[in-house]
Amino acid sequence: MLFTGDKIMKRMFLLVVFIIGIIAINLKVSYAMTGKQLFKKDGCILCHAIHGKGGSFGPNLSAIGKIRTYSWIRRQIRNPKLNFFTPNSFVMFHGKVYESIMPANKKISDANLNKLTQYLTSLK
Ligand code: HEC
């Protein structure tokens, strides 16, 4: 009887499909992201490369977990300036000089910050 030309039933059917579509889109948007996905979504990848993918404005992070601790990396994301003993427009990282242009990411949630930091700490 759904497809027997009953206009009201047809409309109801379309309405249900529409509602399911909206729910599906919302589920996808609020779907929790992994640290790896956040690295892309939050723009880190524009300046940092991991395993050959990404920019070179900042240091390569392919093995960052070997040289930095969890708390150090976490602080670097929220407030990079706190990691420099002499705040300057240039910083020396592992024998290479970088212009200190890394933006502080103040809007990242604590949960996402933890995930992103965990991901980076795991790179060894
Ligand atoms: C506009 C370019 C830019 C963006 C975007 C950026 N960074 Fe950086 N990052 C840098 C630069 C340049 C440095 C060198 C020190 C500094 O400027 O703070 C750095 C340093 C770092 C370091 C320390 C590296 C080391 O070798 O000790 C980590 C970790 C880091 N960034 C992680 C991130 C993460 C995670 C994000 C995304 C939330 C991010 N960065 C976004 C440019 C950037």
Q: Which of 33, 47, 82 to mutate to test the pocket of ligand 1 (most atoms within 8 A of CB)?
A: 47
CA separation for the pair 80, 72 (Å, rounded)? 10
Name the β-bridge partners of 49.
54
Terminal Cα-to-Cα distance of the chain (whole angstroms): 62
List phi, psi (to 5°) of 95.
80, 5
Instruction: Locate the ligand 1 atom nearest the alpha carbon of residue 117 and give its number.
Output: 35
Residue 58 CA to ligand 1 centre (angstroms): 5
Tens-digit pLDDT profile for residues 50-93: 999 999 888 999 999 999 999 999 999 999 888 876 555 677 67
On whether the pTM is more than 0.85, the answer is no
